[in-house]
Structure 1
């Protein structure tokens, strides 16, 4: 269902990436080997690493620290070597269900492998605001910086 948006783009590189991410589990992490170029660069709010082995460690860490994490790709687009994915990461932590909404920029090489995966999402709003004391502080800062005060 969610790969249907990417099929509109009719691009095998993006469709393959979506399939790997949506089917990713601790037992399918080997699929990352063919998805990423050997010297691929991966950036998210917590990591900035180069190389397939370190990228795999990020996903191993995710499966070790979160309960039942899974990606749902909502939309995909590609132009030239640049692909874009709009996604949700669903997981459980400390008995609560969470959803992180984000987007990724993917840059593909001539062999269809990802050379850059850059995630964009807001950890302050989507994670930190749920922490009791820190959350109150983050919400107060956001209200003060907001043009509407909300």
Structure 2
């Protein structure tokens, strides 16, 4: 199994029980960035996932596609989770840079929180949808 296949398998089955395996997949000083977080170090990255498990219901990742060239990889994925009894799906992508041992040294998630999350939430959803429509060229 390649390093990328191991990473994908881990994300596909990520749970509080499997979370400690993060130390084998990420380099000690790995960086992680998404629309809400920017941290350095495996402990800080692990904390992001602990927070995810504490604040969402049944979170899981489905890796749709992946490719790797040398020590870089890109994954397209869906993140499914529950919040207040409702299920949400977020579509996104991840750019990974790997070291010579195949560990992740840089993890960057790309997804649009306005489209994928905010416009679906009560209270702020309507203003976000209005703003998106206002700035759309296809009004």
- Find the counterpart in structure 1 of residue 109 from structure 2: 119
Aligned with 2:78 (options 69, 72, 88):
88
**Matches of residues 1-150 of structure 1 in structure 2 within 5 Å?**
12-149=2-139
Which structure 1 residue ranges, 4+ long, deviate > 6 Å from structure 2? none
- Structure 1 alignment gaps of length 5 or more: 1-10
- Structure 2 alignment gaps of length 5 or more: none
1:16-52 CA-partner distances (Å, limit 9, x unpaired): 1101101110011111001000000000110000000
1:39-82 CA-partner distances (Å, limit 9, x unpaired): 00000110000000000000000000001001110000011111
Distance 1:148 1:85 in 2: 30
Distance 1:132 1:74 in 2: 28
TM-score by length of 1: 0.90
In structure 2, the CA distance between the partners of 1:127 and 1:63, relative to structure 1 (3 Å rule), is: same
Structural RMSD (CA): 1.0
Distance 1:99 1:138 in 2: 17
Shift of residue 132, structure 1, vs aligned partner: 2.9
Distance 2:70 2:121 in 1: 41
Distance 1:68 1:132 in 2: 20
